[in-house]
Amino acid sequence: MSKVLDFLNKAGTFYLATCDGDQPKVRPLGMAFEMDGKVTFGVGTFKDVYKQLEKNPKVEVVALGEQGHWLRYTGKAVLIKDESKAAAVVAANPFLQKIYNEKTGYKLGLFYLEDATAVDIPMMGPGENLLD
């Protein structure tokens, strides 16, 4: 888990791929952190991405690392329904407080991947499994 999280945090921006029916959708993300021993992500529950996760939890996260390496992190998104956990994340991040608050009515949704694979892939050559 720590290798995946380290890779994502060093990359800064990474990309989440979901499905909207038969159409793939990819968007940049920048929030990944450890919660309960899992790499956890946050997205707004009001956004299409959250609805896509509810409908089809199969996702892939891709990040570009250093020296031509990139990460492919694939699995099934598990939505964390405990609103107190999302509230704690918002409370700890002033930037998020500007978005997710009573005035806007927006809620932060959290998820992690289960049945996941994570591979650090160099530009040339075989990849390294990061979950061993």
Instruction: Give the Cα separation of 24 and 70 in Å (integer).
Output: 20
pLDDT of 126 reads 79
Indicate the DSSP class of residue 43: E
25-70 pLDDT per residue, tens: 999 999 999 999 999 999 999 999 999 999 999 999 999 998 889 9
pLDDT category, 1, cuts 50, 70, 90?
Answer: low
Cα dihedral angle (131, 108, 45, 59), rounded to 10 degrees? Answer: -10
Contact indicator for 11, 4 with CB cutoff of 8 Å: no
Domain assignment present for residue 90? The answer is yes
What is the domain range of residue 14?
2-127
pLDDT category, 123, cuts 50, 70, 90?
Answer: confident
The pairing of strands 38-44 and 58-64 is unpaired
Domain assignment present for residue 82? The answer is yes
How many domains does the chain divide into? 1
Full-model pTM: 0.93
Q: Which CATH number goes with the domain that contains 116?
A: 2.30.110.10
Instruction: Give the Cα separation of 35 and 78 in Å (integer).
Output: 13
| Helix or strand (DSSP H, E) at 21 | none
Instruction: Give the Cα separation of 123 and 105 in Å (integer).
Output: 44
Q: How many CB atoms lie within 10 A of CB 46?
A: 15
Instruction: Give the Cα separation of 77 and 84 in Å (integer).
Output: 19
Domain assignment present for residue 132? The answer is no
